[in-house]
């Protein structure tokens, strides 16, 4: 099944994007997402799905995971991403399993299609830490 979204804009940059699982406001309004918010959010969603798939295959457990993703655009046109940093905090991992979880995230960055796609234009960096 192909991915598809539909987007409707007014003449003031305000829009609604609708996908298979929901919708979101786009544009300059309070509470709306900007284009790069959606790109970085898409990266987080893809990376998390890939990470959790690896974790399931390795039968590793955790309680929760938080992503803080920052992207910096180039000044020159086209203003593609220059740099992306992904900070990950995983909660509820036994200390003896932390290296296995770190390796699962490393594999996720290698197999997440959005991470790999963005790496073609941006320097990608990630860091993982653990919280009890």
pLDDT at 112: 98
State the average pLDDT for the chain: 96
pLDDT at 92: 97
Q: What is the pLDDT of residues 27-80, one digit of tens each?
A: 999 999 999 999 999 999 999 999 999 999 999 999 999 999 999 999 999 999
pLDDT at 95: 95
Q: What average pLDDT does range 87-113 have in this prediction?
A: 98
Give the C-alpha separation, 132 to 8, whole Å: 43
Whether the CB-CB separation of 88 and 126 falls below 8 Å is answered with yes
Which tokens belong to 11?
A: 């003449």
Q: What average pLDDT does range 87-103 have in this prediction?
A: 97
- Domains annotated for the chain, with CATH where assigned, are 1-33 (no CATH), 35-131 (3.30.300.20)
Give the C-alpha separation, 37 to 47, whole Å: 15
| Strand-pair partners of 65 | 90
């Amino acid at each position: 099944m192909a991915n598809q979204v539909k987007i409707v804009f007014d003449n003031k940059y305000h829009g609604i994007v609708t996908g298979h699982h929901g919708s979101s406001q786009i544009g300059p309004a309070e509470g709306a997402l900007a284009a790069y918010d959606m790109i970085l959010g898409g990266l987080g969603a893809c990376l998390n799905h890939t990470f959790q798939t690896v974790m399931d295959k390795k039968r590793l457990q955790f309680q929760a995971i938080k992503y803080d993703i920052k992207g910096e655009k180039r000044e020159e046109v086209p203003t593609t991403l220059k740099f992306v940093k992904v900070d990950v905090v995983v909660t509820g991992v036994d200390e003896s399993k932390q290296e296995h979880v770190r390796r699962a995230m490393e594999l996720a960055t290698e197999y997440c299609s959005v991470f790999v796609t963005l790496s073609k234009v941006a320097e990608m960096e990630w860091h993982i830490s653990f919280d009890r």
